[in-house]
Amino acid sequence: MFVIRPVKTTDLDDLVRLAAGAGSGLTTLPANKDVLAERIELSIDSFSNNFEGVDEQYYFFVAEDLAKRQVIGTSAIFASVGKVNPFYNYKILNLMQVSKEPAIKVETQLLSLSNDYSGASELATLYLDPAYRSTGVGRALSKSRYLLMASYPMRFAEIVMAEVRGWTDDNGQSPFWNAVGRNFFNMEFSEADKINGQGNNQFIGDLMPKFPIYTNLLPESARSVIGKPHVKSDAALKLLEKEGFKLRGAVDIFDAGPIVEAHIDHIKSVANATKAIVSVVDDLPEGKPSLVANPYLDNFRVINVPISLKDNNSGKILIDAESAKVLGVETGMEVIYLPTADTNNT
């Protein structure tokens, strides 16, 4: 069995291991022990009850293999980006120019540096140890964030967005970065990505070109990857799209990976999450696989287990004693759940 829970200080070594395996491009999971330690502390503080409005809180989840007592995956939510440090993206603008004599029509795109997502909540840091893929843990990690949002909507912004890792080749080279960013930063993609991942993005505003970039001036290798996800991020993008996230003409400034967004109330799993009173039983009748969360902030955790509805529309569910122990709930406590019949193979 695995459990998804808030990160703890004792998870640091496992997180460093996972970050090293994630490689470049996953900016929010840097292979830097000091930065990860800071994010653990920020998450612990964010999960506390000392809270006043939407701020730059950070909710960091891990999936733990209970049998091995090992962290095997991560996901996170930034409650509100861009309020302390600027949050940059490229906005894609379409431009058509027409000449009557001679009769010529030219269509092109412009990339304009933007702060459109300042104040939005960001889904981030979705990563799973490759040994656990196709087990359902990755999808559970993703959906666990929505259960927190459904439990505490006041802690998040109305607009939720996610940056999807952009395309790089087998050597970690980004054609987009090599055509654009490298000319202004004078460094390799991996180095710029590392600096940004450590939370130092002031250099972006200092060095990025302030005027729009005509994509027609870029080599085909760079144009072809604008909005193209990394092969390892295809599944993550599909999960987001199934939840109702849509492309709105924005890409990451480093690797041109796609950015998707949704209104928090329109996210499928947020809308479908159901609160219920739990009853713990020794022998569970035939149940329906579901993600069940203990929604209390001081003990928030999620597991994927069968549940049985009690008396149809009574607002109560049955779970077995072992699952209740892992969740830290007892009969009479409130939980929140999502059916997971469609969550296999991710």
Per the structure block, which two tokens stand in for 87? 């949050």
* 230 tagged catalytic: yes
Contact 175, 215 (CB under 8 A): no
Q: Which residues contact 73 (CB under 8 A, 6 or more apart)?
A: 18, 62, 63, 127, 128, 129, 132, 137, 138, 141
Q: Give CA–CA dist 236/146, Å, rounded.
A: 14
Cα three-residue angle 107-111-117, rounded to 5 degrees? 130
**Cα 312 to Cα 149, 276, 317, distances in angstroms:** 26, 12, 9
Helices (H), 33-85: 33-46
Q: Give CA–CA dist 31/42, Å, rounded.
A: 17
Contact 110, 100 (CB under 8 A): no
Please tell me which residue in 230, 243, 252, 304 is annotated as part of the active site.
Answer: 230
Q: Give CA–CA dist 181/176, Å, rounded.
A: 8
Parallel/antiparallel/unpaired status of strands 58-65 and 2-6: antiparallel
58: nearest Cα among 38, 78, 40: 78
13: enclosing H helix or E strand: helix 12-22
Active site members: 230
